[in-house]
Structures are given as structure tokens and as C-alpha cells.
Amino acid sequence: MALLPHALAGDPNFWLPVQTRRGCAMDCSYCSTASIEGNILRRRSPGMVTQWLARVEHASFKQYYFVDNTFNLPPSYAKHLCRDIIATGRNPILGT
């Protein structure tokens, strides 16, 4: 949590960016993701993401948004992540 901007903790106007995946194999012609992040998708486990989000919320960051290049890619991962977040019983404010 040392890298979180503590001065912004609890600020209702601040949304913390969260990236769960890097890289993409889709090769859309207009996109630079593969050039910047590679064309192999690497992802954190949904369990690891939800643990990190719990720590973020404990540090008073209640609003965050996913900056993943394509949130629903792959769909199975996105569903797993969303189900894990719901299963925590917390009530975060999410954006994509």
C-alpha cells in the first residue's frame, strides 16, 4: 500500500485505477497494446485481485475502475473476477 496516494484516501472525486491484465493477442489494427504490453495475455488471479481490493478499501479507497485494455477478455476471467468481487460481500463502487 506504500504506493497509494494517501492524501487522496477518502476523496469522493478520486478513482483508483486497477489493472488486472497486461498484453493482448487480438491484434486489432488500430490498437497499440500488443506493441506496448506484448501479445501474450498475463493476468493476476481473481483471488489475488480481490485481496488487493480489500486492502485498498481498508486504506479508505472505496472507488476504483479497471483500466484493463479489454475488460471482458477473456470472458471467463471477467466473470470469475466479478463473481469473486460479489462473493466478498463488500459494496465497492466500480467503473470500467
Number of residues that bind ligand SF4 (CB under 6 A): 9
Least distance (Å) between residue 28 CB and ligand SF4? 3
70 binds ligand SF4 (CB under 6 A): yes
Taking CB under 6 A as the binding criterion, the range among 11-19, 59-67, 69-77, 81-89 that sits at the site for ligand SF4 is 69-77
Q: Read out DSSP for 31-73? A: --HHHHH-SS-EE--HHHHHHHHHHHHHTT--EEEE--SSTTS
Contact 85, 92 (CB under 8 A): yes
Tell me which of 28, 86, 87, 93 binds ligand SF4, using CB under 6 A: 28
